[in-house]
Structure 1
Amino acid sequence: MKNITILLSAILFISELFSCQDVLKENPVGLASADSYYSTPNGIRDALNATYTRLRVFYGREDACFLTVPGTDMYTNGFGGVTNHPAINDYSVNFLGTDGFVTSVWNNFYIGINQANAVISRAPTVTGLSETDKNRIIGEARFLRALFYFHLVQQFGDVHFTQNESVGIQTTAKRTPVATIYEQGIIPDLQFAIANLPAKATNYGRATKAASEALLARVQLTRGNWVEAETLASNVIKSYNFQLVKPYANLWDINNEQNAEVIWSVQYTSDPLTNGDGNQAHLFFLIDYTQNPTITRDLANGRAYQRFMPTNYLIKLFDQTKDSRWEGSFKTVFFANAKGTINGKTVMPGDTAIKIVTYPVPDDLQSSAPYWYIDFNDKWVGASNITNNEIGGGQRRRFPVLKKFLDPLRISVNAVEGRRDFIVLRLAEMYLIAGEAAWRQNKLAESATYFNVVRTRAAIAGKEKEMQVSAADINLDFILDERGRELAGEGQRWYDLKRTGTLLTRVKQYNLDAAPNIKETHLVRPIPQTQIDRVTNPAEFSQNPGY
């Protein structure tokens, strides 16, 4: 397969110090061969570091965000989604194997898998490394390979599965059943990583025993192995020093990225020479606030691509009188940074310029306020009759802004290269996994206990008791609602709906852009057409049905 060919002369290796402060360092190995360079301690370390680079081509990138966030019950296309890439959310007839986003994700992960395969197969013969170091290097590579395959099988279903390094061009491929890839690849890889990785990495950002257990807990939940999922998630909760960050909003403080709740994150950096294309997620959830006459683009407010807009379901999901996660997750107030006039009133820098609320506001109050007063009347946010001063108005340019990815520390107001780390695994999810897995086993009291830990952290001060739920409150809708409140926008929703068998029903109910089109076909994505075209055994490697 073309995309799993090693191109040694093109690789930029990550340095050993895999941290925000020193992420990338080029080594002049362009003339080296795999056989000579990868057989040395520095070479195999660089080969492992090159495997990590594939994370940055997924987490925080537009293609990955489109394939995990919209097209769900929680997010639909904003103005930028409609005008740039509507087909994925809408499940339209234009969503085909020629789509550049599915092609990018497919290619990236197979490059990563082949790189991991090279590390795993070559590390045992490297001289000058202890067995412990060899097993750690292999464990990290197997963690990454498991993660790459986990995304591939969830997105595409049966895919090509190999654990062997491809050195030359291969022109054949076969569709391996999803269950086989889990049983022979993903789960054993993570089990090996658990057995051989340290509890805490020497260099922040490397895979660890805790991260491997957390990822395997997510995998086992996806597979429906409830006992294993609860056991693993509970062990992560109890056996390490992770803690829920309080209050919830502090979890997203860009100056507090390496906090006690993060189990594992993908690293970005403030150094433009090593940050590459950066974490770009800050672009996609933001409204075009510059249409307001008193705000010009600045670092604090960000650069708006307006790709994803909350659905009515997401807007109504939070009880804002007691749950701090609405305020902690969404930016609803913008302040003027230039003098201007709104509704005939002079607005000065520092004054409120935009206020977004999730309830109706009388027209006379909206027209007399010295700011844009954007309200919510529970009309479909994408409806053609939405006015400018309603959520969804301005042709889908007005809506609450997810602030989990905002990046005011970028190098310039127009920079797309964000430096914020992308959190992949965090402690709150382990409570949610354990709670769901316990409920699936009919352990209702234990389930409620797990969920109440998360809800207590989320409570507005003084409202902790009101946030508690009982065993009788737990059902699948509650679980999906609670995961939505906690994990909104973090790239898990499409996977959650798919694994719970609710993707079709909830999208039809809550995402009116997608409702007319979504069908069984869309439980997997189309295989990239470039992949279909280049295999010489098309009878054994065909397109997913319906595409």
Structure 2
Amino acid sequence: MKIFKFLQLSLTIMLLASCSKVELEEVPPHLITSETLYTNYAGFDAGINGVYALIRQTDEGLNGGSSLTSDLFRLGTDNLVSNHQVSPFNVVTTQWVNTNNPSNDFYANSFAWLYKIVNASNTIIARAENPDIAWGGGTGNGTQNKQYVLANAKAARAWAYRHLTFLWGDVPLNLDEAKGSNIVTNWVRTPKAEIQKVMISDWRYAAQFIPLEPIPGRISKGAVEHYLAETYLVRNQLDSALFYANQVTGTANYKLITARYGVKKDKPGVAFMDMFIDGNTNREEGNTEALWVFQFAKQTVGGGANSFPKRHHISRYNSIRVGGVNPLRFTVERGGRGLGRNSLTKFAIDIYGKEDDRGSEFAIRKFFVLRNAAENAPAEADILPAGYKYGDTIHLSWTRDIAPGNVGVVNWPYSRKVEYVDSENISGDLDFKDQIHLRLADTYLLKAEILFKMNRAAEAAEVINIIRSRSHANPIGAADLSIDFILDERSRELVLEEDRRYTLLRTNKWIERTQRYNKNGGQFIVPRDALFPIPQVVINANLTQKMTQNEGY
């Protein structure tokens, strides 16, 4: 039986162990503790890096597991369906019912991960109030450096509670540093409305001191204001939501990508997809649309384990059979090797107009061209089936939904947003491309949703047309608008990027649309599944007071 210490230490495993000066008269110089690290600005900056490393696990696996962390808030929705059922959460999203239960390790690991971020942030916030801290260094004066550290820690804490409240509803609210002297075994679940107030307070503080142009990998002022707009929208405080959305869209630093740029600008393609090409994702590389980009680097200290989006989404095209052979090699142009665990729903593929760049061959892989060795280099030539020649096309098929009786589909289209190849290992499924976590288009669509809820449909349509025009989609009018149209547009623009489950929950559409469009699991969803069960290990660790479970579990 696993022993989960995260609840006994403020529901988390501490990022940095705390050692009391009373318990240890001397601290060996080679050991890093909160006392030795958090003495100056450089130490706090290192601590902030540690928090962002935890946040970056969004695009990795937890505890060496096979589940992509972000599956929890993107898979099992109207636009992303389980195809190859390998990881524990893939199984949940295809069956729900008894598989969606409090004993699922993926829930326990995810719950612990988010509280690690909370606790690491709390430690930084608490330690920053020590009057003996040497705040010199960095780019500002001592006061500015302290404000910057606190802003990043508070932004991270609010980010973690955003996930916790969307996933589990009411959860324990902890704003104190976890120490061995303050172990709590009688946690109560704080109403999410109260937690949202803390999130707003944290993000409003952060918005004052986090720069428009952040250090790569860290959150920007625009991203903070985006989350403020979203949280106010969830609370139906529409004037405040619109204010912060306007702050982001009205900032000159942030601009939609409307023209070709970057490392492949002279090759066939569309402007919309350039930002997803390795070497183009960061603001420093020309991506003016990026609000927050996670950093990955191969064989680099602090570069991350490796990100999972490619391996989980790109189809197993090398297993396609034609004329008794597997013709297709793993190549750079095809995006490398994928495992195809999570696929676009048929709805998500069919939702685009013919003129829309976001549904074009440059955005969604729908066919392959057989290539010779020179064209596939450094990979080998494709294997020609009988009657085929190089230059012929092999089309993928999505005429039938992925559904019971039609799973493990290898010739299914996939989004090219996640294509990446390690040039030293083309057949490997590791991914070290920097990942866009949030971008300006999301804020525009959030703004349109706010305006629509304010009964300002004409203005909402104008905002949506800003997004559609970039991809040459036909303009729409106020009469075309509905909440379902807005959700469709978000899928066209943000599939694989947005936390789709949260968007659908926010609009009270998760059950309806997942049942309608996700044919491999959506049919089994019941109302209780809108919130996940509190992990049983958390309930068991609350030794001196019974913690309530979500209804229906």
Question: So what's the TM-score if we normalise by structure 1?
Answer: 0.84
CA distance in 1, matches of 2:352, 2:149: 43
Residue among 428, 435, 450 paired with 1:422: 435
Distance 1:151 1:381, change over 3 A: same
Which AA in structure 2 matches 1:151?
Answer: H
What's the counterpart of residue 315 of structure 2? 287
User: Displacement of 1:153 after TM fit?
Assistant: 0.6
Residue among 439, 445, 448 paired with 1:432: 445
Which AA in structure 2 matches 1:381?
Answer: I
Distance 1:207 1:322, change over 3 A: closer
- Determine if contact 1:67/1:88 at 8 Å carries over to the other structure: no
CA distance in 1, matches of 2:160, 2:423: 28
Which AA in structure 2 matches 1:196?
Answer: F
Report 1:334-413 matches (<5 A). Answer: 334-336=368-370, 337-342=380-385, 344-348=386-390, 351-352=391-392, 354-356=394-396, 374=397, 376-377=398-399, 379-382=400-403, 384=405, 395-409=408-422, 411-413=424-426
Report 1:126-205 matches (<5 A). Answer: 126-129=132-135, 130-168=142-180, 169-183=183-197, 185-201=198-214, 203-205=215-217
- Determine if contact 2:514/2:522 at 8 Å carries over to the other structure: yes
- Determine if contact 1:74/1:511 at 8 Å carries over to the other structure: yes
- Determine if contact 2:39/2:134 at 8 Å carries over to the other structure: no
Report 1:234-253 matches (<5 A). Answer: 234-246=246-258, 247-253=271-277
CA distance in 1, matches of 2:233, 2:436: 19
Matched, 1:501 2:508: yes
Distance 1:302 1:538, change over 3 A: farther
- Determine if contact 2:257/2:288 at 8 Å carries over to the other structure: yes
- Determine if contact 2:338/2:429 at 8 Å carries over to the other structure: no
Distance 1:83 1:427, change over 3 A: closer
SS of aligned partner of 2:53: helix
- Determine if contact 1:214/1:425 at 8 Å carries over to the other structure: no
Distance 1:534 1:63, change over 3 A: farther
Distance 1:82 1:274, change over 3 A: closer
Distance 1:224 1:119, change over 3 A: same
Q: Deviation per CA, 1:298-323: give whole Å up to 9, x if none.
A: 45432222111222221221112344
What's the counterpart of residue 330 of structure 2? 297
User: Displacement of 1:174 after TM fit?
Assistant: 1.4
Between 137-146 and 310-319, the greater mean CA deviation after superposition: 310-319
CA RMSD, 1 decimal:
2.4
Which AA in structure 2 matches 1:232?
Answer: Y
What's the counterpart of residue 472 of structure 1? 479
Between 57-66 and 136-145, the greater mean CA deviation after superposition: 57-66
CA distance in 2, matches of 1:416, 1:103: 26
**Which residues of structure 1 form unaligned runs of 5+?**
11-27, 357-373, 387-391
Matched, 1:453 2:466: yes
- Determine if contact 1:71/1:91 at 8 Å carries over to the other structure: no
SS of aligned partner of 2:384: strand
SS of aligned partner of 2:343: strand
Which AA in structure 1 matches 2:196?
Answer: Y
SS of aligned partner of 1:264: strand
User: Displacement of 1:198 after TM fit?
Assistant: 2.1
**Which residues of structure 2 form unaligned runs of 5+?**
1-6, 19-27, 62-66, 136-141, 259-270, 321-325, 371-379
CA distance in 2, matches of 1:84, 1:135: 39
What's the counterpart of residue 40 of structure 1? 40
Matched, 1:71 2:86: no
- Determine if contact 2:72/2:89 at 8 Å carries over to the other structure: no
CA distance in 1, matches of 2:294, 2:232: 22
Q: Deviation per CA, 1:208-251: give whole Å up to 9, x if none.
A: 32221122122222332222222211111112321111321112
CA distance in 1, matches of 2:228, 2:346: 33
SS of aligned partner of 2:193: helix
Identity %: 25
- Determine if contact 1:285/1:308 at 8 Å carries over to the other structure: yes
- Determine if contact 2:41/2:145 at 8 Å carries over to the other structure: no
User: Displacement of 1:29 after TM fit?
Assistant: 6.9
Count of residues paired in the alignment? 492
SS of aligned partner of 1:107: helix
What's the counterpart of residue 19 of structure 1? none
- Determine if contact 2:358/2:492 at 8 Å carries over to the other structure: no
What's the counterpart of residue 139 of structure 2? none
User: Displacement of 1:478 after TM fit?
Assistant: 0.7
CA distance in 1, matches of 2:315, 2:33: 48
CA distance in 2, matches of 1:226, 1:327: 38
Distance 1:521 1:234, change over 3 A: same
Q: Deviation per CA, 1:470-526: give whole Å up to 9, x if none.
A: 111111111111011011111421111111111111122122222332111111111
Matched, 1:55 2:55: yes
CA distance in 1, matches of 2:32, 2:381: 56
User: Displacement of 1:272 after TM fit?
Assistant: 4.3
User: Displacement of 1:448 after TM fit?
Assistant: 1.0
Distance 1:70 1:33, change over 3 A: closer
What's the counterpart of residue 93 of structure 1? 98
CA distance in 2, matches of 1:150, 1:537: 27
- Determine if contact 1:410/1:418 at 8 Å carries over to the other structure: no
Distance 1:320 1:72, change over 3 A: same
Matched, 1:313 2:339: no
SS of aligned partner of 1:284: helix
User: Displacement of 1:81 after TM fit?
Assistant: 5.0
SS of aligned partner of 2:56: helix
Which AA in structure 2 matches 1:493?
Answer: R
SS of aligned partner of 1:287: coil
